[in-house]
Structure 1
């Protein structure tokens, strides 16, 4: 007889409160695409883009939770509100198989939605979509053992693949606005995951992970965080100065100031930043609010 498990456990591993990042990425990509005069908003396409983005995000969350549980990492990590996983599976191990199935099912759904857009002629989506699927499948076991790949994979998946991919799926061509919006999100999401790794350094090291903070230390990681904040700011400024973003898009620099607060926390506390979660919260808010403000200014400006 199969052991029973709670459906709530499976839902927890999807990390619902964090799924807002996917619609934010879609907003930035769609808003940049609509700057092109020959791109029109198609509600069916928009719904499928959003569904594919959410499915991809759920898939990477579930697969990461399943593999972290199987490796024993979940039993050793010290969780914060923003790092260390949901902690759902250690309390309900019978749900592990269902979480794996959920991760695979949402991965397949993501691929099927991508195939729909390819069949519709959105061929620019092909390399980004394939690379994005590879990132989902390999992130926990392979990418997390390579410091530089682990550093940029989150930003690639959410920034380049999801933001630019949303634009391509809507029928956009390459444009500076689309890629600058993607770069903005690339830098921010890299920082989101980078800072979240600080509290888990020792636990991650124990299971064989070798991400950037493990390989180069917290001080150099914090410098990299600062460089990514600068890159995000330049993405907005270059877009406005180049005439690809409206002047109002400079408003996106305001929520980016939250990254400066997070940076100050990283400098003060280092690996102990999880003891004062307001700094990690500022990092999350900067990641969500900055592309949102940019997207709204592109739509309204």
Structure 2
């Protein structure tokens, strides 16, 4: 395996669109509503957000390995690990894995500091907040991703919805507003749903490792009902955005992207083996990216036609 392929697998590079879509939405909002777009600031925002996301993936893997959750998922029959597995399998040493992880953090930090100079010191709050959410998601002493009280879901909504959309908008305009907050709701909620659903793949292993996610806390049946509710709330927020002017009416074309995900839920029973949740995971990721992409295209079209 060459270095680039190894890096992509270790950092789970394939999930990067769930961060890139909200960054693009924030910049498009600035272009459509305020008529501004600064390419250099956008590139810095895009690069910093991507590095922060990959750092988050890898630091979570690192602490899941140290806590035993990654090894437990690997050794539990039927459980499907969503980590890279490089540490548990010995593909990379902890030292090398850590060096790559903190290099990504350095890239994100440099981009954030540059943006705070070029766009405004308020960006430092986003840098600090993003660092805290990424690191302490599974790292001690907070480990809020292990507490099973919805802290991790709130963190995901902030990190993949509210912060990248409003932050990207602020970088371009130098101000905040209610429209980017509204715009963050659909993508933030759908990414939260994606991260929530991935716990179904290994919730029994999490339970044995002491990782108390909401799925572990509620149990499979009740967690599945909550998951469906989150889906409907996420797509209802698209309608809210269109109704209040944060999106043009034709952004409602994003609603059909929910259909495959609804179908995935219908194929599940009250109790399911871990493998049964793989289609739900795939449909959740597709819904998040496709819905956000349609929203972005609708905003771009609105900006082009005036």
TM-score by length of 1: 0.88
Counterpart Cα distance in 2 of 1:194 and 1:94: 28
Counterpart Cα distance in 2 of 1:211 and 1:14: 22
- 1:232 deviation in Å? 1.5
**Which residue of the partner structure matches residue 285 of structure 1?**
286
Secondary structure of 1:12's counterpart equals: helix
Relative distance call for 1:259 and 1:42 in structure 2 (3 A) is: same
Once the two structures are superposed, the pairs formed by residues 185-200 of structure 1 within 5 Å of their partners are 185-200=187-202
**Long gaps (5+) in structure 2:** none
Segment of structure 1 superposing worse, 197-206 or 187-196: 197-206
* 1:258-293 deviation line (CA, Å, top 9, x unaligned): 33234334x526452533522221111001111111
Q: 1:42 aligns with which of 9, 23, 38?
A: 38
Relative distance call for 1:124 and 1:33 in structure 2 (3 A) is: farther
Relative distance call for 1:88 and 1:262 in structure 2 (3 A) is: same
Alpha carbons 1:199, 1:271 under 8 Å: kept: no
- 1:135 deviation in Å? 0.7
Counterpart Cα distance in 2 of 1:69 and 1:298: 41
- 1:48 deviation in Å? 0.7
Secondary structure of 2:210's counterpart equals: coil
**Which residue of the partner structure matches residue 18 of structure 2?**
21
Once the two structures are superposed, the pairs formed by residues 53-132 of structure 1 within 5 Å of their partners are 53-77=49-73, 84-132=82-130
Relative distance call for 1:12 and 1:130 in structure 2 (3 A) is: same
Counterpart Cα distance in 1 of 2:81 and 2:197: 9
* 1:2-52 deviation line (CA, Å, top 9, x unaligned): xxx984545421112112222222222212222222x42111111111101
- 1:207 deviation in Å? 2.2
- 1:243 deviation in Å? 2.5
* 1:108-133 deviation line (CA, Å, top 9, x unaligned): 22122112121124344343332211
**Which residue of the partner structure matches residue 136 of structure 1?**
134
Counterpart Cα distance in 2 of 1:288 and 1:197: 19
Alpha carbons 2:260, 2:283 under 8 Å: kept: yes
Alpha carbons 2:201, 2:277 under 8 Å: kept: no
Relative distance call for 1:118 and 1:165 in structure 2 (3 A) is: same
- 1:83 deviation in Å? 5.1
Relative distance call for 1:28 and 1:83 in structure 2 (3 A) is: farther
Secondary structure of 1:91's counterpart equals: coil
Relative distance call for 1:269 and 1:206 in structure 2 (3 A) is: same
**Which residue of the partner structure matches residue 299 of structure 1?**
300
**Which residue of the partner structure matches residue 249 of structure 1?**
251
Secondary structure of 2:120's counterpart equals: coil
After superposition, the CA RMSD in angstroms is 2.5
Counterpart Cα distance in 2 of 1:298 and 1:191: 23
- 1:225 deviation in Å? 1.7
Alpha carbons 1:192, 1:287 under 8 Å: kept: yes
Relative distance call for 1:243 and 1:12 in structure 2 (3 A) is: closer
Counterpart Cα distance in 1 of 2:194 and 2:130: 18
Segment of structure 1 superposing worse, 133-142 or 163-172: 163-172
Relative distance call for 1:124 and 1:151 in structure 2 (3 A) is: same
Counterpart Cα distance in 1 of 2:248 and 2:51: 32
**Which residue of the partner structure matches residue 180 of structure 1?**
182
Alpha carbons 2:69, 2:211 under 8 Å: kept: no
Counterpart Cα distance in 2 of 1:132 and 1:165: 11
* 1:60-93 deviation line (CA, Å, top 9, x unaligned): 1111122222233332315999852122223335
Paired residue total: 295
